[in-house]
Amino acid sequence: MQRGTLFLIPVPLAENAQNKSYTPFLIDTINVIKTYIVENEKTARKFLKEAGLKTPQSELLVHDFGKHKRGNSLVPYFTQLMSGIDVGLMSEAGCPGVADPGAEIVSEAHKRGIKVVPLVGPNSMIQGLMASGLSGQSFTFHGYLPIDKVDRAKRIKELESLSEKNKQTQLFMETPFRNNHLFEDVLKNCGGSTQLCVACNINGEDEFIKTMTVGAWKSERIDLHKKPTVFLLYKG
């Protein structure tokens, strides 16, 4: 039997960013698919409605792949795909599989010979890099840095050194309520001439993207608390 296709469906990065986030092809696709694998059912259904879903929500089959479900068997998530039904995979924000647990579903799909189709949409790492003015020829995304203050300081210095050695932009992030602490730690642990881009609430109404030297940032007051932020570091 022919298998279904797994569509990777990006969702907005910020409130009221629907018009910046959904392409006509994405809208056409969600109006064909009736089965989804999502991180949070409530927000997934909200995103689908905002994107222009015409299918009655009662007709949707939504599989919860939230943090309390992970680690269990993946078999139930593939019942429809293995019987020829197309399925959409949605993250909580941005692109499925990128800094996102959906990568586990995508990996399993490849093992099962299921076609995977990524749709175009918002991605905070790439959009931050685009707007930073830092090297887009060579870059690495590190995800979350250590929570422990000593380990984090050591890691920040390692990333600065890697950037200088490889002429490479280093991207990283933090849980939004710890953003201000991470920002302060970057300023404390990097050289004054190192470039730092702060890309905050991308696509949001209060989007803030700015690149300056660490030295210049020290005289700048910003509040990143509870705002999704990507940090980009470059030492030339």
User: Residue 141 sits in which domain range?
Assistant: 124-234
d(CA 6, CA 105): 9
> 123-144: per-residue pLDDT in tens?
999 999 999 999 999 999 999 9
Question: What are the tokens at 140?
Answer: 């690495």
Q: Which of 118, 140, 156 marks a domain boundary?
A: 118
Residues 105 and 12 in one domain: yes
Domain count, the chain: 2
pLDDT number for residue 99: 86
Q: Give the pLDDT band (50/70/90) at residue 66.
A: confident
Residues 205 and 103 in one domain: no
Residue 18 is part of a domain; what is its CATH number?
Answer: 3.40.1010.10
d(CA 104, CA 98): 11
pTM recorded for the entire structure:
0.91
